[in-house]
Structure 1
Amino acid sequence: MAPQRHSRRRTLAKHALSLSYGRAFVAPEHRHHRSSMSVNLPENDALDSKGACAVISDSTRHNVIAEQADDLSVRGFLADYYSTPAHWDIKTSVTRVLHALNSWSHSQSRHLAEGSYVSSLSILVLHGSEGHLFHMGDTLVFRLRGAEFEQLSRDHVTELGGYRYPTRALGLDGKLDIDYRHTSLKQGDLFLFTTQAVSGTLMPSDYMQLIRTDVSNLDAACERLAAAAQARAAERGYGADQFCFQLVRIDRLPEESPDPLQRFGALPVPPECAIGDRLDGLVVEAVLARTAQSRVYRVRDARNQREMVLKAPSPELSSRNAYLEHFLLQQWVVERIHSPFVVKTVERSRPRRYLYYLMAFVKGNTLTYWVQHHPRASLGQRLDIARQLVKGVQALHRREVLHQRIHPDNILIDTHGQVVLADFSACHRREGDGHRGAQELARQVGLNEHSAPEYALDIDVGRRSDQYALASTIYWLLTGELPYTLEPRQLRSHTELDQMVYRSVRMYNPEVSLELDGALQRALDPQRALRFRRLSEFVYSLRDPRKLTTDLPAHIHALRSPAKRWQWIAGGLLLLVVLSWLWK
């Protein structure tokens, strides 16, 4: 048996995250590889959102297509993982890719006469100062930290006919059960990836000694591990087998976890622009808004003539770093919230020299304009707008973002009736301490008549604060009025909350159902804790009552008619009398 050794070493560094890795592989002659390993550290913005990956895959000894199965699991995972939407978190991205890969592998294996696409798989995603381990089957992942040598993965194996087979492996079953473990990273951490073939050969003390002999050369360390495992197996009569080892070392961690809000902080604020001015190849066609905090322009790309909306910080505030950080948060919201009901970001066709972001230009008008020009719009049309608006707010909340400025002037309706939520000047992302600071930010930007009472008082804000503003806007959409004579932004003390008396929406629009009126009253409760716990509970009440009535069976329509209802009751009583007479 002649050993075949393959190893390489590369140091990758980007965005202050630096990794080194090495690997070695020993296999008998004329034996196909049944293991695959890879380390991937992307060289673009994917590192910020997806991190680096270290992967190992291993198929069973008697699988005739083991090499193809391993190659598919490793290459397929890496290709699909880095193609997932940037707004998906690590766990969501990995699990969705693995479930799709498992379904394909399992379905293909059922059509094979020999072999299968079943393989054990371990994936370690290194993102900022955190590690995310995903594991299925019997591959092994260890961590060497200082004097501690710990196995991070769990063995999922079963014995059958004297052989050990992996369980919960990729492609083994239509349903995939994935082990997940979250761990913090430290500079100098060493992660070792290997397969079940090494079981019974090396002890923890052997690993530590062989790795630390020359920790600066990870390829050499992997070679020593492979040679020692091979020699120990021969001594104990284990027979010919293949051994593979992969080492990944954290050379340097970023000072802070990668934050999408810091990517463009070094760019200067653009100067004041007028119609006809050019900015990075963009021609200003209209000035849409000038505020103390920002500038909004409608621009046209001189290269492809595409119309867009450009938003930039106000030149007067170019030295206020706190505002610039919040402006970058707005950009993060536009880029990461993917919903048809939230304004979309636009990819730049050329590098930019200034701090701004681009949004799709919505050909339409604000909700305020729409209501003024559609006074005879039906209840169904208005409820359709309300449902779309709720979906936009839900998309923000799923990303732990508060909008804080839900207002008819910040809601756009295009020519096809599509509702788009815009204006993120007061948006706030949830942090470790919740939404602390959100109230102060909303006050700085400015409160409006739809702002929840807690913004005017010293009360914590949260998702239910957006729920109030959303319900207030829907109330106005249905009636043209506000739910309270006392505007919440005018409150000065907690005792004034008792003066807020809800005015039934049916006073102004009798078509509104009692159910929807009650739901609006609850969503608009002055006390935040008494509103709906989840926005989805409020959504249920926004059904069109006329459409629901139309969809009901004919006998239910009959019961809704007073005359028919009494006929049914009289008929039921007559039937009871006849039955009682027959019973006698």
Structure 2
Amino acid sequence: MNGIPSAEHLVVGHASLCDEGGKDGNEDAVGVRVPVDAHMLTYKGAVFAVADGVTSAEAGQDASETAIRTFLRDYFSTPDTWSVAHSASQVLSTINLRLYRHSHQFNNEMKGQLCTFSALVLKSHTAHFFHVGDTRIYHWRSGFLRLLTTDHSAQLNPERRFLARALGMDGRLQLDHGKQDITSGDRFLLTSDGLHDYVQDSQMQEVLSQISDPKAVCEELRRLAMMQGCDDNISVIVVTVEQLPNIDIDDFHDQLTRLPFPPALKAGMKVDGLEVIQEIFASSRSHLYLVRDLDSGQRAVMKTPSANYEDDSSYIERFIREEWIGSRVDSPHVVKIIRQSRPRSFLYYLMEYVDGISMEQWLTQNYPVKPARAIKLIEQIALGVKAFHDCEAVHQDLKPGNIIITTDPVSQKESIKIVDFGSVFVAGVAEVFIPIEHEAVLGTASYSDPQYLTGRNSGIQGDVYALATICYELFTGSLPYGEKIEACQTPSDYDRLRYISARKHNPAIPVWFDRALEKGVSFDLQQRYTTMEALLTDLKNPNPAFLREEVKQNTRSSSLLFWQLLSGFWFVTLLLVIYLFVLNQT
């Protein structure tokens, strides 16, 4: 039995079992995380989860393992200000959409990624459970066992049953959520159908009542399932609540969600063990400060909300969401969120400090940029943005002002970091799409997809547009549609714009490279690249289609020149004949 001792926080004992049972291969997955860190345990609780891959989907094992691994990681990355229900539902909605999209990528091969999923979160005096499919969660107290979840399946006949809900089955997740108050001595049981289809509830109740050691309970339940003909995977998690906190953590959560906005900070001021060194940036929407941790000496960037939005609940929710988004994205080319261990007195979050300059400033100092140097930077930006896409998120506001370039003092190698999460859209999250505001901020209108600015979410293709625009500027020092794009307000304004060939600014640019840029910034989504990889491939290697197109254009030009010359020859010949005729008449 595993226990995490703490005088003031929830303590649990647990054991888990996941094996093949009577089946070749294991499509089940189980996960347990009981934080050792007191702050994390207080605000997030302990998590237990079981998933069962849908056999008919072929990629069920991948689905169950992905669901468990991602949930245990992303749930604990959600902001402290979010409730358990909000955190878990947001994370599971994103996981569901990821599995759903992966399933459709293999549509022709019928390799869907589907799995059932049940999770238990023990926080303070409450057990929260989340459920989809036919895995189960039971609650045992004082000798009596009660099923908390409802199977999402339908019985066609005694031999056949089909699953009505699962992660990855539909683009919109239908998730069950419930709560159960807990006391010391309570026990919880999480099972896959390989157990509860063969072991009766009365038998489970008897085992839980007679055996105190969670590990021994798991082994005995497995033995009963095998003895009673189980031919499926068996997954079991047994949790015993040994101790509860003396005070209700919900009081702390209410205080946290009502955190006041910080005042304007000045150098030398101290907040929650952090000393303000200087202000880095200020706008009508937020402020950035360089701060130093008084204990570790570590430098960080503190982002605070603007007092202009103190009564705007939507703004506050989006500001809080930024911290979660940043904590989920793991890439050396994306600034990292610093998880705080101390309680906060005000609403803010911390990011790593990146010692460099913005790409906007860098370009003014380094233009013209050598092609190899520019492509290396573009590749790094693409890797950073792809990390967002891997988390089912779209950046939406990629521009030189949101990219920091650092230079290694020894190797002189340049690297980039994307440093802003304010406009990121998370797919699968139950929120209304809010397009980027057309503010008078340098770069926003120039680099963001016009589809966003007119209220349409073009998803990954929007980030493709921004990357192609940045690449165009690195090679030409200009924008693909000129400065007039800044003044565009309506779709008809954009319709009047025409792509300006990169070769007009830089004749050394190959035709195929120019064609790739043009395709990357096309206003028509049917013409634009659908992925970062496709754009990079054509930027680094001549696309034969572009080369054939150029040959055809050259051929047409040569043909036109031939007929122009021939027509000119005929015209001169006609004049000569007329002259000779007139001469003979005279």
Counterpart of 2:416 in structure 1 is 419
Q: Once the two structures are superposed, what CA deviation does each residue of 1:10-31 show, in whole Å capped at 9, x if it has no partner?
A: 9x9x99x9999999xxxxxxxx
1:365 CA displacement:
0.7
Q: Is the 8 A contact 1:39 1:55 kept in 2?
A: no
Q: Is the 8 A contact 1:269 1:318 kept in 2?
A: yes
Question: CA RMSD, aligned part only?
Answer: 5.7
Rounded Cα–Cα distance in structure 1 between residues aligned with 2:531 and 2:421: 22
Counterpart of 1:51 in structure 2 is 47
Counterpart of 1:344 in structure 2 is 336
Q: Is the 8 A contact 1:452 1:489 kept in 2?
A: no
* Partner of residue 388 from structure 2, selected from 396, 405, 422: 396
1:305 CA displacement:
2.8
3-state SS of paired residue (1:438) = coil
1:180 CA displacement:
10
Counterpart of 1:543 in structure 2 is 540
Rounded Cα–Cα distance in structure 1 between residues aligned with 2:217 and 2:277: 67
Residue 374 (1) aligns with residue 371 (2): no
Counterpart of 1:69 in structure 2 is none
* Partner of residue 288 from structure 2, selected from 279, 296, 315: 296
RCO (CA 8 Å, sep 6+): is it higher in 1 or 2? 2
Q: Once the two structures are superposed, what CA deviation does each residue of 1:209-233 show, in whole Å capped at 9, x if it has no partner?
A: 5668999x6969x999999999999
1:312 CA displacement:
0.7
Counterpart of 1:470 in structure 2 is 467
Residue 510 (1) aligns with residue 502 (2): no
Q: Once the two structures are superposed, what CA deviation does each residue of 1:529-548 show, in whole Å capped at 9, x if it has no partner?
A: 43112222112123288xxx
Residue 456 (1) aligns with residue 448 (2): no
3-state SS of paired residue (2:478) = coil
Rounded Cα–Cα distance in structure 1 between residues aligned with 2:282 and 2:460: 29
Q: Is the 8 A contact 2:475 2:506 kept in 1?
A: yes
Rounded Cα–Cα distance in structure 1 between residues aligned with 2:512 and 2:224: 77
The aligned amino acid for 2:474 is: L
The aligned amino acid for 1:465 is: G
Rounded Cα–Cα distance in structure 1 between residues aligned with 2:149 and 2:73: 38
1:278 CA displacement:
1.7
3-state SS of paired residue (1:522) = helix
* Partner of residue 313 from structure 1, selected from 285, 296, 305: 305
* Partner of residue 438 from structure 1, selected from 434, 445, 451: 434
Q: Is the 8 A contact 1:401 1:428 kept in 2?
A: yes
Write the mapping of 1:492-511 to structure 2, written as runs, cut at 5 A: 492-511=489-508
Rounded Cα–Cα distance in structure 2 between residues aligned with 1:214 and 1:267: 47
Q: Is the 8 A contact 1:483 1:504 kept in 2?
A: yes
Q: Is the 8 A contact 2:33 2:72 kept in 1?
A: no
Rounded Cα–Cα distance in structure 2 between residues aligned with 1:497 and 1:233: 67
Rounded Cα–Cα distance in structure 2 between residues aligned with 1:212 and 1:540: 60
Number of matched pairs: 417
Counterpart of 1:130 in structure 2 is 130
1:477 CA displacement:
1.5
3-state SS of paired residue (1:311) = strand
Counterpart of 1:428 in structure 2 is 425
1:378 CA displacement:
0.9
Change (3 A) 1:263 1:488: farther
Rounded Cα–Cα distance in structure 2 between residues aligned with 1:22 and 1:395: 34
Rounded Cα–Cα distance in structure 1 between residues aligned with 2:331 and 2:314: 28
Rounded Cα–Cα distance in structure 2 between residues aligned with 1:303 and 1:430: 38
Counterpart of 1:33 in structure 2 is none
Rounded Cα–Cα distance in structure 2 between residues aligned with 1:511 and 1:449: 24
Write the mapping of 1:7-18 to structure 2, written as runs, cut at 5 A: none
3-state SS of paired residue (2:300) = strand
1:248 CA displacement:
7.0
Rounded Cα–Cα distance in structure 1 between residues aligned with 2:489 and 2:449: 13
Counterpart of 1:27 in structure 2 is none
Residue 385 (1) aligns with residue 377 (2): yes
Change (3 A) 1:275 1:214: same
Rounded Cα–Cα distance in structure 2 between residues aligned with 1:353 and 1:463: 37
Q: Is the 8 A contact 2:399 2:470 kept in 1?
A: yes
Change (3 A) 1:408 1:462: same
Rounded Cα–Cα distance in structure 1 between residues aligned with 2:440 and 2:44: 29
Counterpart of 1:354 in structure 2 is 346
Q: Is the 8 A contact 1:50 1:90 kept in 2?
A: no
Q: Is the 8 A contact 1:452 1:488 kept in 2?
A: no
Write the mapping of 1:219-238 to structure 2, written as runs, cut at 5 A: none
Rounded Cα–Cα distance in structure 2 between residues aligned with 1:525 and 1:231: 63
Rounded Cα–Cα distance in structure 1 between residues aligned with 2:477 and 2:369: 12
Change (3 A) 1:131 1:487: farther
Change (3 A) 1:453 1:225: closer
Write the mapping of 1:6-155 to structure 2, written as runs, cut at 5 A: 42=35, 45=40, 51-53=47-49, 125-126=119-120, 129-131=129-131, 145=147
The aligned amino acid for 2:434 is: A
Q: Is the 8 A contact 1:379 1:511 kept in 2?
A: no
3-state SS of paired residue (2:445) = coil
Q: Is the 8 A contact 1:265 1:325 kept in 2?
A: no
Write the mapping of 1:526-541 to structure 2, written as runs, cut at 5 A: 526-541=523-538
Q: Is the 8 A contact 1:403 1:426 kept in 2?
A: yes
1:471 CA displacement:
1.4
The aligned amino acid for 1:392 is: G
Q: Is the 8 A contact 2:74 2:328 kept in 1?
A: no
Counterpart of 1:324 in structure 2 is 316
Rounded Cα–Cα distance in structure 2 between residues aligned with 1:332 and 1:233: 43
1:428 CA displacement:
2.4
Change (3 A) 1:500 1:149: closer
Counterpart of 1:253 in structure 2 is none
The aligned amino acid for 1:331 is: E
Change (3 A) 1:124 1:481: same
Rounded Cα–Cα distance in structure 2 between residues aligned with 1:450 and 1:311: 24
Rounded Cα–Cα distance in structure 1 between residues aligned with 2:222 and 2:360: 74
The aligned amino acid for 1:130 is: F
The aligned amino acid for 2:370 is: S
Rounded Cα–Cα distance in structure 1 between residues aligned with 2:368 and 2:237: 70
* Partner of residue 357 from structure 2, selected from 362, 365, 368: 365
Greater displacement, 380-389 / 317-326: 317-326
Rounded Cα–Cα distance in structure 2 between residues aligned with 1:228 and 1:378: 67
Rounded Cα–Cα distance in structure 1 between residues aligned with 2:371 and 2:31: 58
1:527 CA displacement:
2.0
1:394 CA displacement:
1.2
Q: Once the two structures are superposed, what CA deviation does each residue of 1:443-487 show, in whole Å capped at 9, x if it has no partner?
A: 479643222222332434422122212211221111111111364
Rounded Cα–Cα distance in structure 1 between residues aligned with 2:339 and 2:147: 42
Q: Once the two structures are superposed, what CA deviation does each residue of 1:399-448 show, in whole Å capped at 9, x if it has no partner?
A: 12222221212111012311111122222222356x74231x44479643
Residue 335 (1) aligns with residue 288 (2): no
1:38 CA displacement:
10
Q: Is the 8 A contact 1:144 1:190 kept in 2?
A: no
1:310 CA displacement:
1.1
Q: Is the 8 A contact 1:281 1:302 kept in 2?
A: yes
Q: Is the 8 A contact 2:433 2:457 kept in 1?
A: no
Q: TM-score, normalised by structure 2?
A: 0.56
Q: TM-score, normalised by structure 1?
A: 0.56
Rounded Cα–Cα distance in structure 2 between residues aligned with 1:299 and 1:187: 40
1:50 CA displacement:
8.4
Residue 525 (1) aligns with residue 522 (2): yes
1:42 CA displacement:
4.9
Q: Is the 8 A contact 2:117 2:131 kept in 1?
A: no
